[in-house]
């Protein structure tokens, strides 16, 4: 999938993205701290598993996450970047070949190398929040509750309440995304897997 016009125009405009990257890092730090506190509270330790989040076909919806991943890719040595891009192309081909398949499969995120994330500091929001039972208060007032991953429930059973409130983290990211889109003139909706994000970077 080739990048749409706006992405193509500004993907190398790192000077324009820089101030947003600083604020995004603060939002991600708050997420990481909240996740760690929730995990500690339950005694949950994520050390990878057969059914981990890197095998789930998550879609990402913000330009901030896309450009943050780009900045991580830009910092890699060319040969490392080329290897990740090649893995991303393979994953995209597999997904295209089996469009009706379940969202969880044996395909693994192209950034997962031997169980470790190749761009850990630059990973998107859902990679930071997945695994712990959560609640989300949507802007329309609806409350959504989600379970933890299988490994969480194996380790911790079923805590009565959602342990992690995702609401302030989603709200902070959405607010900064609105500001960023307006400043950059980005209007297209975004729905990309990590593999597709990496492909956007190639062209
Ligand atoms: S970006 Fe990193 S943490 Fe997220 S799915 Fe890919 S390998 Fe896993």
pLDDT in tens, 11-66: 666 678 899 999 999 999 999 999 999 999 999 998 777 767 888 889 999 999 99
Residue in 53, 54, 72, 76 to alter for ligand 1 test, most ligand atoms within 8 A of Cβ: 54
Which residue has the least CA distance to atom 5 on ligand 1? 54
Distances (CA, A) of 71 to 6, 20, 22, 66: 17, 12, 12, 9
Does the beta carbon of 54 sit less than 6 angstroms from any atom of ligand 1? yes
What is the domain extent for residue 50? 5-202
Q: Give the number of domains in the chain.
A: 1
Give 117 Cα–ligand 1 centroid separation in angstroms.
5
**Is 109's C-beta closer than 6 angstroms to any atom of ligand 1?**
yes
Helices in the chain by DSSP H: which ranges? 5-10, 14-42, 63-74, 78-97, 125-129, 150-156, 167-184, 194-202
Tens of pLDDT, residue by residue over 94-134, are 888 876 655 555 678 999 998 889 999 999 999 999 999 99
């Amino acid at each position: 999938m080739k990048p749409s016009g706006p992405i193509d125009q500004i993907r190398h405009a790192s000077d324009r993205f820089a101030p947003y990257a600083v604020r995004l890092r603060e939002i991600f730090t708050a997420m990481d701290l909240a996740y760690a506190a929730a995990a500690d509270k339950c005694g949950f330790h994520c050390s990878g598993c057969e059914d981990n989040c890197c095998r789930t076909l998550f879609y990402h919806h913000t330009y901030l996450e896309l450009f943050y991943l780009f900045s991580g890719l830009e910092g890699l040595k060319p040969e490392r970047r080329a290897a990740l891009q090649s893995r991303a192309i393979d994953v995209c081909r597999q997904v295209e070949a089996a469009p009706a398949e379940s969202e969880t499969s044996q395909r693994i995120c192209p950034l997962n190398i031997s169980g470790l994330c190749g761009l850990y500091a630059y990973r998107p929001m859902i990679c930071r929040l997945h695994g712990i039972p959560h609640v989300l208060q949507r802007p329309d007032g609806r409350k959504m509750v989600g379970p933890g991953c299988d490994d969480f429930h194996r380790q911790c059973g079923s805590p009565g309440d959602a342990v992690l409130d995702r609401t302030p983290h989603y709200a902070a990211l959405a607010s900064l995304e609105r500001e960023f889109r307006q400043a950059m003139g980005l209007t297209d909706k975004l729905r990309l897997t990590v593999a597709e994000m990496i492909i956007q970077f190639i062209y």
